[in-house]
With several copies, the nearest count.
Chain A
């Protein structure tokens, strides 16, 4: 295997060299605990301030509304469990969707066991939430609407502004899991009426193990992780200074280059979709064709199973992902693919290709070529394809 073509940028991204350069001094040199009194600690403190400002700027928030966490998962847990706990006197009803990331879904399921009631909204065949259904599901005891900004599997971007308006109109707190959207599409917490927003560093060429939760000023959200007085007494634990610095740098780079990168990526994405559709039959595009993340391509290939597709691509140096159960060791294929109405056997044959701004057209051409061969090979092996062909005759 000579060259790697990495098309799994929704899973994690390569740390930007420039981001790493900004982080470096905070490992060995400026290691002071930012909470300390002495002056060498101020190096760390200043670095955190700058990072917080960069992050705040990237979503139109105030500096004091940004809280650093360990990643998107912690942010989701904190937002949802925190609101559930704090607003329990108002009610125990939460609205979310069927296509959230497990960080939201499993947190909601945990809350269900604690006596909360969760409405899991349906989505249409493109993965879009229905605004009317959302509004209808609001009850007097609804305390939170948590709907993801963009879906991590199929890339569909939800109508966040409209959802924010509904939430505001009904005076309900609105959380969005923006882990996939942050740094990739424009986000403005005020224009979109977002009260809480989760994001993760490593999805935007930042470091792993760092993320943030945006908490609107007026929102009462208690600590989720208790202990020291860090993060204005809301998130305890010694600050991960290099991580925070890296997140700040990554946020800045992503936002400064967003427009240009998105334009390029959309072109690449649409080219890849077109080429796959031209070269392989019996496939289905998953997710909305245009309301989708600039870097996300997701197809189901009928009669074949995702994992064997992934391994075959890997043999050619292509890194991708699948919503197939086999990759996770569980039985059912991705809940997202089932929620957009795919039958199990088709859902098992999904392939997600997520591009980076460095992906080249040559790489995409190579991928399509390989994909064509692999699909043919796997279909030749498939009893489902055999049955299908025989039935056609």
Chain B
């Protein structure tokens, strides 16, 4: 079902954990739908010095969290904003169609943490919108 990369990131998630004194924390998804992601960012200057995540969800949810945090780590905020769900999927060698929403969730979790950081520091980040309170309503896959 999953690629080797996905399985690797599920088995050995990178950046799993918390950051005590995080610059920004974002939580997206909801338990109703079975996916919750929380991202902790440590930003210094304009650079994401550290990033951690916690995820409640399926294998793809864990793997995309892990990969998304890897992709933004050490990046500037602007560079992190450019990391899309597509980039996460590609870095994982793809996801099954029914799991694409997990990569969206990961992108949104990063954005939510950035939003939290921006709010706390009273800055504006180009292209960043307020995260939806509940992004649970992802599309159900094609039903005939």
The chain A residues found within 8 Å of chain B, CB to CB, are 37, 42, 220, 222-223, 232-234, 303-308, 311, 315, 324-326, 329-331, 333, 344-345, 348, 380-386
Given A42-B1, A348-B31, CB of A383 within 8 Å of CB of B38: yes
* Cβ-closest chain B residue relative to A222: B144
Note all chain A residues with C-beta closer than 8 A to B55.
381-383
A383 touches B34 (CB 8 A): no
Given A311-B10, A329-B98, CB of A344 within 8 Å of CB of B31: yes
Asked whether B64 is an interface residue with its Cβ less than 8 Å from the other chain, the reply is no
B36 touches A384 (CB 8 A): yes
Asked whether B114 is an interface residue with its Cβ less than 8 Å from the other chain, the reply is no
Note all chain A residues with C-beta closer than 8 A to B85.
none
Note all chain A residues with C-beta closer than 8 A to B33.
325, 331, 344
Lowest 8 CB-CB distances: which A-B pairs, in order? A345-B31, A329-B98, A326-B58, A307-B58, A344-B32, A383-B38, A383-B54, A348-B34
Partner-binding segment picked from B11-19, B68-76, B86-94, B120-128:
B11-19
B34 touches A305 (CB 8 A): yes
Note all chain B residues with C-beta closer than 8 A to A330.
140-141
Asked whether B27 is an interface residue with its Cβ less than 8 Å from the other chain, the reply is yes
Closest beta carbon of chain B to A180's beta carbon, Å: 25
The residue among B27, B38, B57 with the most chain A CB atoms within 10 A of its own CB is: B57
Q: Which of A233, A384, A386 contacts B144 (CB 8 A)?
A: A233
Asked whether B112 is an interface residue with its Cβ less than 8 Å from the other chain, the reply is no
Q: Which of A315, A325, A382 contacts B54 (CB 8 A)?
A: A382
Q: Which of B34, B60, B62, B140 contacts A381 (CB 8 A)?
A: B62
| Interface bits B30-59 vs A (CB < 8 Å: 1, else 0) | 011111111000000000000000111111
Note all chain A residues with C-beta closer than 8 A to B34.
305-306, 324-326, 331, 333, 344-345, 348
Asked whether B61 is an interface residue with its Cβ less than 8 Å from the other chain, the reply is yes
B98 touches A383 (CB 8 A): no
B11 touches A308 (CB 8 A): no
B10 touches A384 (CB 8 A): no
Note all chain B residues with C-beta closer than 8 A to A326.
34, 57-61
Q: How many residues of B are counted as interface, with CB atoms below 8 angstroms from the partner's CB atoms?
A: 34
Given A325-B33, A348-B34, CB of A305 within 8 Å of CB of B56: yes
Given A315-B11, A345-B31, CB of A383 within 8 Å of CB of B59: no
Q: How far is the CA of A53 from the CA of B9 in the complex (A)?
A: 31
The residue among A37, A232, A233, A348 with the most chain B CB atoms within 10 A of its own CB is: A348
Closest beta carbon of chain A to B8's beta carbon, Å: 11
A383 touches B10 (CB 8 A): no
B54 touches A386 (CB 8 A): yes
Asked whether B143 is an interface residue with its Cβ less than 8 Å from the other chain, the reply is yes
Q: How far is the CA of A208 from the CA of B96 in the complex (A)?
A: 27
Given A42-B1, A303-B56, A384-B56, CB of A308 within 8 Å of CB of B10: yes
A386 touches B58 (CB 8 A): no
Closest beta carbon of chain A to B109's beta carbon, Å: 10
Q: How far is the CA of A223 from the CA of B144 in the complex (A)?
A: 8
11 contacts between A and B (CB under 8 A): A305-B34, A306-B34, A308-B59, A311-B2, A311-B7, A330-B140, A344-B31, A344-B32, A344-B33, A383-B55, A386-B38
Given A311-B10, A381-B16, CB of A324 within 8 Å of CB of B54: no
A233 touches B11 (CB 8 A): no
Note all chain A residues with C-beta closer than 8 A to B138.
331
Note all chain B residues with C-beta closer than 8 A to A315.
11
B37 touches A383 (CB 8 A): yes
A329 touches B59 (CB 8 A): no
B58 touches A308 (CB 8 A): yes
Q: How far is the CA of A381 from the CA of B141 in the complex (A)?
A: 27
Q: How far is the CA of A86 from the CA of B126 in the complex (A)?
A: 49
Q: How far is the CA of A234 from the CA of B143 in the complex (A)?
A: 9
A305 touches B57 (CB 8 A): yes
Note all chain A residues with C-beta closer than 8 A to B57.
305, 307-308, 326
B144 touches A232 (CB 8 A): yes
Closest beta carbon of chain A to B116's beta carbon, Å: 14
* Cβ-closest chain A residue relative to B36: A383
Closest beta carbon of chain B to A43's beta carbon, Å: 13
* Cβ-closest chain B residue relative to A41: B1
* Cβ-closest chain B residue relative to A345: B31
Q: How far is the CA of A330 from the CA of B99 in the complex (A)?
A: 10
B1 touches A383 (CB 8 A): no
Closest beta carbon of chain B to A356's beta carbon, Å: 24
Q: How far is the CA of A306 from the CA of B96 in the complex (A)?
A: 17
Note all chain B residues with C-beta closer than 8 A to A303.
56
17 additional contacts, CB 8 Å, given A315-B11, A344-B34, A348-B31? A232-B144, A304-B56, A308-B10, A311-B10, A311-B59, A326-B59, A329-B96, A329-B98, A330-B141, A344-B31, A348-B34, A381-B16, A382-B36, A383-B27, A383-B37, A383-B54, A386-B54
Closest beta carbon of chain A to B18's beta carbon, Å: 7
